[in-house]
Amino acid sequence: MKIPFVDLHAQYLSIKEEVDNAIADTIRETAFIGGGRIKQFEEAFAAYLGVKHVVACANGTDSLEMLMQAMGIGKGDEVIIPALSWISTGEIVGTAGATPVFVDIEEEFFTLDPDLIEAAITPRTKAIIPVHLYGQAANMPAIMAIAKKHGLKVIEDCAQSHGAMIDGQMTGTFGDAASYSFYPGKNLGAYGDAGCVATNDTVLADMVRMIANHGQKGKHNHQMEGRNSRLDGLQAAILSAKLPHLGKWTQARIENAKAYDGLLSRTGVACPQVRPNSRHVFHLYVVRSNDRAALQKMLTEQGIETSVHYPTAMPFMPCYAHFGHTEADFPVAAEYQHKILSLPMYPELTREQMKAVSAAIEKRDLQSIFS
């Protein structure tokens, strides 16, 4: 059975009329740049999150970079980030002129380990960027307590956590601001690049909006050097059509994860754990195997698509070789980078497909291969 890693076409077919109408309306109105469609989505997503302001932009990386600029973080500053994440979390620190300071992740939950943060704080530390990796909420109560104690900014990287919660509170609403990506494969995805900043800070929101629009405060009134980072009208219309479905898609992901948990319990792979008092939205369903390469190869041969998020922890990437980090500095991330494997996960995934995935894994010699 051929099983895709993600099936965006299946999602499209489930809401085809709504998406097609949104696109057609945008074309008819020629509302391609700016205008009401952008405002409509910003207001709807702000209401969904429960924040005062959403500022739409071109992509998630831009949203992080603009927050760094708006907060005045740059040369001479340090920013604490988790050792395991997509490169955007690290590169936006470097491109701002600041220094990324890596901290290892929690064994159970893959997110920034709060117990290790204070040892990484120096007089140069200006911010912490926790990443809600794979859809799992980072330990925000603990992280916020540390940030408050040391007077640090907190930027939540919510690229993979649309709708995730901890203690009943949405991720993206704990820190000073949050970054979201709406890349097509995200839990809420556009049909191209898209992103936003979410915050309750009116001054910060206004600054980010100005940066995103060439530093303008009103047309031709350039208060600063900014950039061109716009969410286009078509993407805003598509996101507005999809947002009302996010709740049911999230529930389907959670149910699929529970089904995987049961099906894979007979195998030796380590299934993902869910933080107590939280809602994991399973952007990815990531297992661990002591023989990942062989497992991935076998699944590929049987038509089952998988991926690795991420094969190299950031401290060990060539772009950060000048820091001289070793695997002993980040033992959990160092170990997991060789074991993690993302299985197919999306709302439309069927029980038959998941049974086929688990059956393929179960065929292997579990005793000798898996942890």
Name residues whose C-beta falls within 8 Å of residue 219's C-beta, 6 or more positions apart in sequence: none
CATH class of the structural domain 246-369 = alpha beta
Domain extent listing, the chain: 8-102+109-244, 246-369
Q: Cβ–Cβ contacts within 10 Å for residue 323, how many?
A: 14
Rg (CA), the chain: 21
pLDDT, tens digit only, all 371 positions of the chain: 899 999 999 999 999 999 999 999 999 999 999 889 999 999 999 999 999 999 999 999 999 999 999 999 999 999 999 999 999 999 999 999 999 999 999 999 999 999 999 999 999 999 999 999 999 999 999 999 999 999 999 999 999 999 999 999 999 999 999 999 999 999 999 999 999 999 999 999 999 999 999 989 888 889 888 999 999 999 999 999 999 999 999 999 999 999 999 999 989 899 999 999 999 999 999 999 999 999 999 999 999 999 999 999 999 999 999 999 999 999 999 999 999 999 999 999 999 999 999 999 998 744 344 44
Q: Is 307 helix (H, G, I), strand (E, B) or coil?
A: strand
**pTM (predicted TM-score):** 0.96
CA 123 to chain centre: 29
Tell me if the domain spanning 8-102+109-244 has CATH number 2.60.40.1120.
no
